Structure 1
Amino acid sequence: MRYRTLSTALLLSAALLGGCTYERKGPPEHHLADWGARPPSKNAVTVCHAYGCQRTTRVVFTKDDVRELAKLMKKVKRNDSAAEERRAVAYAVGWMERKTGEIVGTKADRPGMDLRASGDPTQQDCVDEATTTTSYLMFLASHGLIKHHTVGIPFSKGNIFKGMLQGNPVKYWPHWTAVLRDKETGQRWAVDSWIYENGENPAVVKVDEWYIKDISNLPKPTT
């Protein structure tokens, strides 16, 4: 617990004070460990909520759930390409959010950031969303539902100092995203669920095209 607290504090300091982009090397499991989230195991995933993973809830999908996800992704894909796999992943993440939202209570999660919501178990900030989405992506990969990509470690981007100079620190607030990496090209893709209501498709965009302007101008859902 002490290690997690120190590690999390260092991450927050880097994200808040470092400006621009915070990245680290290593597998996605390192990010989950930093925030106290257990990695997926068999049919179980971890949902982070209450802001900054203050709460974590283990959710177990059934075999029927896995079959339903496979069926959905197959239906969405128009061909067997990396681009279509990313589309299918967006639909799968939305489906998983709706399913876990009913169990955890995050179906009531409001899109975007509400600074008053810290500690509310029904709400998720970008750390919760990025960490939970990473758990979902690892789950999909472990069940053979992602083959053109690997799951990357989440990263954050933002510049709080720029916002402070403009009198609006939240405008460029550090924002986290889950990541997929194309096996063939090496291109990384942001998978961002935080912007939308629970259960909507996340935005899946190239990392260098994600969060370019400010927190109010983030990508649209991938459909």
Structure 2
Amino acid sequence: MIPRLLLLFALAGPALAEQRVAVCYNWDCAAQAEVVFDDYQWLEATRLLALANNAAGERALLAQSLGRLYRWAGEQTPIRHDLAGNGADGDLDGRMDCIDHSTTTTRLLRLLEAYGALHWHRVGEPARRTHYLVAQHFAAVIEEQASGESYAVDSWFVDNGQPVVILPLAAWMEGEGSSVE
């Protein structure tokens, strides 16, 4: 029995422990709350990423993993009320603008990166696009290690808990993503 348990622990990967991260909300990070992901949530989020066979696969699985992390964060904070864009959630507690999203998503990505869950990408600094001199939008950024290509990771485009949008940064800078406001 003991050899089987040792084998299970060896296959389990890095030691599990609660993971903590601060989430921003109520626009411009006016409010922040610490979120704690328990061992099983963290294991689910990281094991999903371990299924990736290449960079494109990791991006697809990362979109799902981040959606789950946001959903679990919403179970502990008012961000569960956040809807895609800025217009639909009015003045609800927990609403998130693109600054809240890009900051929180970057924190989540850095947590995944520090844990060793990202194998094909590294985390960059958030990006800003500006159209017509006043319309600004921010997103988290990852860079594919092999090609050096950067990708926007934008959770602002979706309701809380849904898979995030990941697309080439150059396309995102040109306005691609979603039509939400």
Q: TM-score, normalised by structure 2?
A: 0.81
Q: Distance in 2 between matches of 1:218 and 1:185?
A: 22
In structure 2, stretches of 5+ residues that fail to align are 1-17
Q: Distance in 2 between matches of 1:89 and 1:99?
A: 15
Residue 166 of structure 2 corresponds to residue 204 of structure 1? yes
- Are the counterparts in 2 of residues 55 and 121 from structure 1 also a CA contact under 8 Å? no
Letter in 1 for 2:142: L
Residue 41 of structure 2 corresponds to residue 65 of structure 1? yes
How big is the shift at 1:143? Answer: 1.4
Q: Could you list the runs of 4 or more consecutive aligned residues of structure 1 that deviate by over 6 angstroms after TM superposition?
A: none
How big is the shift at 1:73? Answer: 2.7
Matches within 5 A, 1:1-223: 43-75=19-51, 77=52, 80-114=53-87, 117=90, 120-161=92-133, 173-213=135-175, 218-219=177-178
Cα distance change, pair 57–130 in 1 and its aligned pair in 2 (3 A)? same
What value does the CA root-mean-square deviation take over the aligned residues? 2.1
- Are the counterparts in 1 of residues 55 and 121 from structure 2 also a CA contact under 8 Å? yes
Letter in 2 for 1:109: D
Quote the sequence identity (%).
28
Letter in 1 for 2:170: D
How big is the shift at 1:117? Answer: 4.3
Cα distance change, pair 63–158 in 1 and its aligned pair in 2 (3 A)? same
Q: Distance in 2 between matches of 1:160 and 1:103?
A: 38
Letter in 2 for 1:67: L
Name the count of aligned residue pairs: 162
